[in-house]
Amino acid sequence: MAEIDIAFIQPPGWAVENPPMGLAMLKSYLSEQGLKVKVFDLNILLYNIRSKEYFNSWELANGYYTWERESWVNQFFSKYSDEILNFIFSVISQNPKCIGLSAHNSSVIASELLAKKIRQYDPLIKIIIGGPEMVKVSPKWRSLLKSKIADVVVFGEGEVTVSEYLKNPDGTTKGLANLNSNGEIVEGETREVIPNLDSLPFPDYSDFNLKLYRGTNVLPTYFSRGCVNRCIYCTEKNYFPTFRCRSGKRVFEEIKHQRSLYPKTEYFRLHDSVSNGNIRELEILCDLLIESKLEIGFDLEGAIIRKEMTAPFYKKLRKAGCTIIGFGMETPSKPILKNIGKMACLSADFDKVITDGVKSGITIGVNFMFGLPGETEEDSQMQLEFIRKYKRYRKRMILNPALNYCYFPPGCTAYEHPEEYGIDISRGPLFWESIDRKNTFPIRLSRFERFCKLANELGYENLFGITESINRNEMLDLYYSGKDELSYPKETILHNKWEQTPANLDDLKTYLMSKNISDIINHLAFCIEQSYEPSAKFHMSSKGIKNFIKFNFSKWVYKNDKQYAMFIHALNLLDNKIKIQGGNRK
């Protein structure tokens, strides 16, 4: 079998709607450079063979519950160890000189596990890790190199760096980091971005079995890389540092090209952070599509609210085939948006942009975040008011509440400079708090839930189909027990609700005695949290005390697994304390 220069792998978890465009772009660019490349999508293979137990594991509504949790991924890998091993052998049997793994925050754990397994079976293959999770500001890449899991880590755009590396592995370090012969990390200079995206070849999907993806007859394409905004919670600037846009003509040429290769393609999803960053080029694309009569549908999933989104422009977009536009609005409060660096929307009249969009017949998606720095209860009420106001358009609007409310990953501005935004990040990207403690994780969670509940009542489509976080109790457990959000318990605990709330403590005891420890904790947590109402002063209120007892109690149960007598004793204690508190409140 002929040797190939690099085999790229997309590890799980990543999206399953379409093939990963980043790897399709690396394939076309490197092939054009005369290199032999093959792409393997392990993510989609596993998705297609998943058993019932893992049926929902790729759904976004799982939040932090699956692929970002080491214990869960380990469990999954051991369940599918035969399939994964077969897959590794099928890659290795192609004799690649290098294997490239694509790491997102949701696929970095699996990338690491795969790299270790590949090493076991073929220690000579060079392992390269790249993708959005490999950014200099995050410590992850160093540990991958130090532990020799990866030989090379590539930062940002992969095209030129990988090409140079493959052609001259010992001579280039720009855009990458690796280990020298003494085992020390050598960090190359920053690679300049590709200035003209029109110069890149079209993504090559020939290695993918398109039938395996959820979006039938759908392919990804893109307008741009980078962003015109600088939101303080976003890491985009670290790997696509500047905004660059393709010409409308080039995007049109690509659509025609892919359509000729895959004639059944009916729809293109724009895979960029800002697909309406350059209105002039977008308009050119619309004109070309209208003129061509290709009858192709497309969406602008990542769009910014801007004043140029006018009724006539929407009309043109609609005529050209645009069916959905997703706006990252986050909050209707302009002072907050200004404070968090979402500048491009400030001169727009939100009401007009949304109403004109809906009236044009395009489905308008609006993303919301909860507890952005500076957000008050009044601002949160304003969000609710906003969705009430558009109730009559609910059939043509999709509301997308952010599943992690307001999250500051390493590498974003808020994480790097928390003091500038009056926040304390010491408890991690999700559990951060405002210095005045008025904006805490439970408060963000409660605003999120209140929003989802109202959106549901008003009859809006919710992208994730949820009214609460799937792992809320567990996250609250961690929050109140003072842990970091990533120190999940080893076991996967699902959030089960009571089918019927026990009438009294004896019923409760009987019920709980029939369950295992995880269930007990979960049920107990839910029972108490039914009346839970987060408050900045929780530690002063009786509800806060209930929570405090509950969380300490949970910790205790973990430590004393199976000591049921003590458990019942503690349960009584808990019940008495709650009664006392209830009495005091009266």
* Binding residues for ligand B12 (CB under 6 A): 8, 13-15, 17-18, 20-23, 25-26, 60, 100-102, 104-106, 128-133, 154, 157-159, 162, 220, 222, 234-236, 239-240, 271-273, 302, 403
- Residues in contact with 480: Cβ distance below 8 Å, sequence separation at least 6, in sequence order: 547, 548, 550, 551
392 neighbors 361 (Cβ within 8 angstroms): no
Binds 102, which of ligand SF4, ligand B12, none (CB < 5 to 8 A, cut-off by type)? Answer: ligand B12
CA 505 remoteness from chain centre: 41
250 neighbors 224 (Cβ within 8 angstroms): no
Q: Tell which phi-psi region holds residue 503, choosing left (phi > 0), alpha (psi between -120 and 50) or beta.
A: alpha
Q: Judged by CB, which is closer to ligand B12: 270, or 557?
A: 270
Residue numbers 212-251 binding ligand SF4 by CB under 6 A: 227, 229-231, 234, 236
What's at 305, amino acid-wise?
A: I
What's at 515, amino acid-wise?
A: K
CB of 35 to ligand B12, least distance (A): 13
What is the rounded CA–CA span in Å between residue 124 and residue 95?
11
CB of 159 to ligand B12, least distance (A): 5
Q: Judged by CB, which is closer to ligand B12: 383, or 400?
A: 400
CB of 153 to ligand SF4, least distance (A): 23
The secondary structure of 270-331 as a DSSP string is E-SS-TTS-HHHHHHHHHHHHHHT---EEEEEEE---TT--HHHHHHHHHHTEEEEEEEEE-
| Longest CA span, the chain | 80
Which residue reads 């590949």 in tokens?
A: 118
Quick note: the x/- pattern for ligand SF4 over 258-277, rule CB under 6 A, is ---------------xx---
End-to-end CA, the chain = 80
Q: Judged by CB, which is closer to ligand SF4: 213, or 408?
A: 408
> What's the CA angle centered on 533, arms 522 and 514, to 5 degrees?
20
Binds 104, which of ligand SF4, ligand B12, none (CB < 5 to 8 A, cut-off by type)? Answer: ligand B12
Binds 231, which of ligand SF4, ligand B12, none (CB < 5 to 8 A, cut-off by type)? Answer: ligand SF4
Binds 229, which of ligand B12, ligand SF4, none (CB < 5 to 8 A, cut-off by type)? Answer: ligand SF4
CB of 402 to ligand SF4, least distance (A): 10
Q: Which two tokens stand for residue 244?
A: 């660059």
Q: Judged by CB, which is closer to ligand B12: 215, or 502?
A: 215
CB of 368 to ligand B12, least distance (A): 13
| Residues binding ligand SF4: number (CB under 6 A) | 11
300 neighbors 270 (Cβ within 8 angstroms): yes
CB of 157 to ligand B12, least distance (A): 4
Q: Judged by CB, which is closer to ligand B12: 154, or 322?
A: 154
CB of 271 to ligand SF4, least distance (A): 12
Q: Which residues bind ligand SF4 (CB under 6 A)?
A: 227, 229-231, 234, 236, 273-274, 304, 328, 342
